[in-house]
Amino acid sequence: MGTLKKLKAYYWPFKKYFILSLLFMALLTAITVIYPIILQITIDDVVLKENYNYIPFIAVIFIGLMIIKGIATFFNQYLGDLFGISSVYEVRNALYKKLQVLSFKYYDNAKTGDLMSRLTADVEGFRFFLSFGFSELIHTILIVVLSLGVMFYYSVPLAIVTMISMPFLAVAVYKFDKRVHPRFRAIRKSFGRLNTRVQENISGMHTVKSLSREDFEVGRFEKNNGDYRDRYLDTAKVWSTYFPLMEFIGNFCAVALLAYGGYLVVTDSLDLGALVAFFSLVWYIMGPLMGIGFVVNMFSQAKASGERLNEILETEVDIVEKPNALETQINGHVTFHDVSLTYTKDDDGALKHISFDAPPGTIIGLIGPTGAGKTSITQLLTRFYEAESGEVLIDGRPVADYKLKTLRQHIGFVLQESFLFSTTIRENIAYGNPHATEEQIIDAAKRAQAHEFILEMPKGYDTVLGERGMGLSGGQKQRLAIARAICINPSILILDDATSAVDMDTEFKIQQALKEVMKDRTTFIIAHRISSLKHADEILVLDEGRIVERGTHEELLAHNGPYRHVYDIQYQDRDAIMNVSKA
């Protein structure tokens, strides 16, 4: 029950629905137990004594009870569903909110398909138990207690004989739960892996088809699907073992009841109607007790699901705002003072003792081989990660002094892989500034050299994009991402290889447009092309997390170091291509 206690904050506010559902369920259970009593009266006092004039009254009572039972059933089920659905609405919201505040470090290790499985299948498994499992468990307890009370009223010896089998049934249920719970948890994990495989395959379908790896992907899916099947079959074995056992115990009790009850009737120690009522009542007990296996099954699934939900809800948020965090204007003066960053314990270090100063309006170029630490520098600015040591300052204050929303609203970030949402082009550009006017949106598109191709789209700015910007070229996606960054009017602009997917002519046009945008803004340009960095006020050359060179374009060329080496390679290649094209 520890798992359910941890989630209590999400379902307990709706306890009134649960309590009302229980009240109607108690009424429903009481009416159910009354049926055998009416049956006993009908046999002993009406049929055997030939008092047939009572039959119409009994029929009216019976019909009335059925009507009341129908009404009680409706409200019991509806209120139970209302309790479960309202609760998981809060759980799902809490999960989604938690996923929004978790840092990049969490997502570095998380699997998208597994997270989707938790927010769908696991939440639904938990809802099903809240809606039906709790109620069914209490229904079982109530009907057993009420039925036993009536049975003891009719015959204490026969009631005791009936109860003999209950401890054996309880042991079987307990052992069933112990064996089935870990299997349901394994099923949930396997389903998460299966979801991940499907998600990765669909997202990477272009790569799969371009490399003719369809058969390989089918094989990988069959392996995950087979694992999911095998775990379910393993659970089915447990189910198939214990349920016949529980049914055997119940049937054995029924046989003992008939044998001993028949003897009591023959010896005139018990009325025939009471025996018939007794037999009905024993199934009111044995049925729910055998059915408690289904409740245990629901509970085990809910417990496994709840554990997986709690893993997200209890994940420690490592990027935390200070209680007195600032919500103020940011001018964009960036300072790194002896900053180091390590992503994992075994990592050699993404950044090592990085120091530089960038006043407002400064353009900082970052260049270096893959994994040199270029993107890591910019991710520390937005607090996507926390520095292991040293200080990252903006306007003379540590970045941790600012509210996260304030900090990130003043930083325009264009990632290397531009992500676009499945909505209109207008809404994509205004995503970071939902109150942007039409003029601001169009101006941002023009500055990013996107306005012309947008007008060529079927509905212009109202064109709805496909998933992840399907239907657009890589260059068009990046220009829309640049327009989105410009639209928030940031104090700090970060271009993480933002022109890598455009041709050199478009890159030149974007750079010309960005010159005006960069005025009075601190700009970080991460690029592999020297042409993107020429106009930077300072270029930082990184290698293995360290700054190995720094200076202007001209200064670095004169040093004849790593920067000059990259320059010679790129421009020798360009000259060679131009000579070939002339020939």
Burial class (CB in 10 A: 0-12, 13-18, 19+), 215: exposed
Q: 551: left (phi > 0), else alpha (psi -120 to 50), else beta? A: left
Cβ atoms of residues 11 and 85 within 8 Å: no
Q: For the chain of 583 residues, list the mean pLDDT of each consecutive stretch of 10.
A: 82 91 90 83 77 82 89 91 90 88 80 80 84 81 84 82 76 77 79 77 65 77 86 83 77 77 79 78 73 72 84 86 89 94 80 93 91 89 90 94 89 79 89 89 88 89 78 79 87 80 66 70 88 88 92 90 88 54 45
Question: What phi, psi does 82 have (nearest 5°)?
Answer: -60, -40
Which tokens sit at 500?
């890598």
Count of CB atoms situated within 10 Å of the CB of 208 = 16
Fold annotation for 2-313: ABC transporter transmembrane region fold (1.20.1560)
The identity of residue 508, as a single letter, is F
What DSSP character marks residue 494? E
Fill in the DSSP letter of residue 539: E
Confidence (pLDDT) at 204: 67
Residues forming CATH 3.40.50.300 domain(s) in the chain = 416-489
pLDDT, residue 423, reads 86
CA distance 351 to 237: 53
- Per-residue 3-state assignment (H helix, E strand, C coil) for 49-90: CCCHHHHHHHHHHHHHHHHHHHHHHHHHHHHHHHHHHHHHHH
Instruction: Kindly list the strands in the beta sheet with 538-543, ordered across the sheet, starting from the edge strand earlier in the chain.
Output: 411-414, 492-496, 522-526, 363-367, 538-543, 546-551
Return the ∠ at Cα 107 (arms to 103 and 113), rounded to 5°. 145
Domain 416-489 has CATH 3.40.50.300: yes
pTM recorded for the entire structure: 0.72
Across 451-537, the runs of DSSP E, i.e. the strands, are 492-496, 522-526
**Would you state the pLDDT for residue 507?**
67
Tell me, what's the pLDDT at 578? 47
By residue count, the chain amounts to 583
pLDDT at 222: 87
Using an 8 Å Cβ cutoff, are 371 and 531 in contact? Answer: no
- The predicted pLDDT at position 580 comes to 44
Residue with tokens 């933002």, as numbered in its chain: 498
Residue ranges, CATH 1.20.1560.10, the chain? 2-313
The packing angle between helices 272-313 and 214-266, to 10°, is 150
Angle at 189 between CA 188 and CA 194, to 5 degrees: 95
Packed helices 504-518 and 438-447: angle between N→C axes, nearest 10 degrees: 130
DSSP state of 510: H
